[in-house]
């Protein structure tokens, strides 16, 4: 994300905690003043965005136990046991999967990681649509606000509509940029072949999540400042996180729907991801690989998937398809140096030969686990015998 956009983000954050706490005048000392409410709202939204299911269910459970028994029936949906009890159980099952899965082979653990990545996207959508707007508005107390402005000599009016018009979009923006970065943990786990790395990534995210309620418990404004720092950092990483999130979403969808069984590569162009930066085009850019009139391979893409189309020529060289177990790759060979240039979504599994014909590539080879398995079969003498008369 470009630095010049940080100022609009800081202005957005100022909507969530615009003023230091003003000491209450007589008659409003017992109320929580708007400054503290804004600070608490920012901390809550940021914490939930890092891990939506855990954040919403934990917040609901705490809200439930802090409410007097006779008032619990009036609590919102996320604070009802019928929601947060099953949600916390699901969080516990995910934690058990991570603990015991660290000793299991990565190939056995990956299907459960795919399901968790799908759950994170669904819970993020639910939190953005049903939790964030609600939790931002319940922190708003018009009576205390009116009393404060009245004590300062101003006439009061019902400005709740203006509050909602400003606060809800600001909160959704904060939630969106933080969720994008938090979601990359799930995508990195999908890509990582090492279960120990998965556990380290999950632990880092949980530790970061724990710092938000801890700092807010010390002081609401300490928590708000720390949450604001997290939001600014996430905003700067938003572009990278968005591309990685698209990468994970496509891979999860292709895998869960077995898309490779009904997919046919197109002769005119096929969508895939850039595996390394290319000129001004960043890594993980999602675009369509074409062949121009001069016979050069060209990546055509739209920044953020919606902006005007751009094109980037791939470097000259010998190209091959690398066949992998989970996904295949487009390899470029430059001066005997083989590099992965594009990552092909799982829909292309089994269609590598068709891609070679579509683009006129030099051929294909096994890579990754598939290459390791071929080597292992050769070591133990399980390779197929050549047909009679073959050289």
391 lies in some domain: no
309 and 163 within one domain: no
Among 202, 221, 254, the domain boundary falls at 254
What is the SS3 string spanning 357-374? Answer: HHHCCCEEEECHHHHHHH
Q: What is the pLDDT of residue 187?
A: 84
> For position 307, which CATH number holds?
2.30.29
Helices (H), 257-322: none
User: For residue 111, what pLDDT is reported?
Assistant: 78
Domain end, chosen from 233, 254, 275, is at 254
Specify whether 57 is located in the same domain as 163: yes
Judgement on whether residues 220 and 335 belong to the same structural domain of the protein: no
Q: What is the pLDDT of residue 386?
A: 37
338 is a domain residue: yes
- How far is 201 from 187, CA to CA, in rounded Å? 11
Judgement on whether residues 308 and 358 belong to the same structural domain of the protein: yes
pLDDT tens digits in sequence order for the chain, 391 residues long? 554 444 454 444 444 444 333 333 333 334 444 456 777 888 889 999 999 999 999 999 998 999 999 999 889 899 999 999 999 999 888 888 777 766 666 666 777 888 888 888 899 999 988 898 887 776 554 544 455 445 545 445 555 666 667 788 888 999 999 999 988 888 888 777 677 777 788 888 889 988 998 898 888 888 888 999 999 999 999 999 999 989 988 988 898 889 999 999 998 899 999 988 988 899 999 999 999 888 899 999 999 999 999 999 998 889 999 998 878 999 998 877 888 899 999 999 999 999 999 999 988 888 876 666 565 555 455 555 434 443 4
CA dist 371 and 223 (Å) reads 50
* 24: in domain: yes
187 and 288 assigned to the same domain: no
247 and 333 fall within a common domain:
no
In a domain, 238, yes or no: yes
Identify whether 32 is part of a domain. Answer: yes
Note whether residue 390 is domain-resident. Answer: no
Please tell me whether residues 65 and 127 are part of one structural domain: yes
Kindly state whether residue 386 falls inside one of the protein's structural domains: no
Q: What is the pLDDT of residue 370?
A: 67
β-bridge mates for residue 298, sequence order: 290, 313
pLDDT at 83: 94
Are residues 189 and 280 both part of a single domain? no
Based on the domain organization, do 250 and 155 belong to the same domain?
Answer: yes
**Distances, alpha carbon 379 to alpha carbons 373, 375, 382, in Å:** 10, 6, 8
CA dihedral 182, 53, 45, 63 (to 10 degrees): -150
Helix (H) or strand (E) holding 134: helix 132-138
372 Cα distance to chain centroid? 31
Q: Is residue 100 situated within a structural domain?
A: yes
Same domain, 223 and 335: no
Q: How far apart are CA 124 and CA 132, in angstroms?
A: 10
Residue 260: left (phi > 0), alpha (psi -120 to 50), or beta? alpha
Assess contact for 130 and 200: CB atoms under 8 A. Answer: no
Query: Among 210, 231, 254, which residue terminates a domain?
Result: 254
- Boundaries of domain holding 283: 262-379
Count structural domains, the chain.
Answer: 2
Among the listed residues 55, 44, 363, the one whose alpha carbon sits nearest the alpha carbon of residue 206: 55
Closest among 321, 16, 268, 275 to 163, alpha carbons compared? 16
Residues 228, 99 within the same domain: yes
- Both 298 and 216 in one domain: the answer is no
Residue 162's alpha-carbon distances to 5, 38, 158, 173, in angstroms, are: 24, 15, 9, 17
Residue 73 is inside which H or E element, if any? Answer: none
Residue 147: is it exposed, middle or buried by C-beta count within 10 angstroms (0-12/13-18/19+)?
Answer: buried
């Amino acid at each position: 994300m470009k630095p010049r956009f940080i100022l609009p983000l800081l202005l957005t954050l100022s909507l969530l905690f615009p003023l230091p706490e003003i000491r209450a005048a007589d008659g409003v000392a017992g109320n929580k003043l708007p400054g503290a409410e804004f600070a608490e709202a920012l901390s809550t939204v940021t914490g939930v965005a890092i891990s939506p299911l855990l954040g919403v269910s934990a917040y609901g459970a705490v809200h439930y136990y802090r409410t007097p028994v006779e008032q619990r029936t009036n609590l919102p949906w996320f604070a009802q046991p019928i929601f947060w009890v099953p949600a916390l159980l699901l969080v516990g099952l995910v934690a058990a999967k991570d603990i015991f899965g660290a000793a299991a082979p990565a190939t056995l653990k990956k299907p459960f990681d795919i399901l968790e990545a799908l759950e994170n996207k669904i819970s993020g959508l639910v939190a953005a649509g049903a939790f964030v707007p609600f939790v931002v508005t319940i922190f708003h107390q018009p009576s205390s606000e009116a009393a404060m402005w009245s004590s300062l000599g101003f006439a009061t009016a019902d400005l709740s509509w203006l509050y909602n018009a400003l606060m809800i979009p600001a909160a959704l923006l904060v939630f969106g940029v933080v969720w994008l970065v938090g979601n990359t943990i799930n995508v990195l786990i999908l890509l990582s072949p090492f279960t120990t790395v998965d556990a380290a990534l999950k632990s880092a995210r949980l530790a970061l999540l724990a710092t938000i309620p801890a700092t807010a418990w010390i002081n609401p404004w300490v928590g708000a400042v720390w949450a604001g720092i997290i939001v600014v950092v996430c905003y700067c990483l938003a572009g990278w996180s968005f591309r990685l999130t698209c990468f994970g979403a496509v891979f999860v969808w292709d895998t869960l729907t077995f898309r490779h069984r009904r997919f046919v590569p197109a002769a005119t162009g096929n969508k895939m991801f850039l595996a390394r930066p290319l000129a001004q085009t960043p890594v993980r850019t999602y675009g369509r690989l074409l062949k121009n009139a001069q016979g050069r391979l060209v990546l055509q893409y739209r920044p953020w998937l919606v902006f005007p189309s751009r094109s980037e020529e791939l470097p000259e060289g010998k190209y091959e398809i690398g066949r992998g177990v989970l996904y295949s790759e487009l390899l470029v060979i430059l001066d005997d140096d083989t590099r992965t240039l594009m990552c092909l979504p799982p829909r292309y599994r089994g269609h590598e030969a068709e891609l070679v014909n579509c683009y006129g590539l030099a051929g294909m080879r096994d890579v990754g686990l598939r290459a390791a398995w071929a080597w292992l079969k050769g070591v133990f003498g399980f390779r197929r015998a050549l047909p009679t008369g073959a050289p």
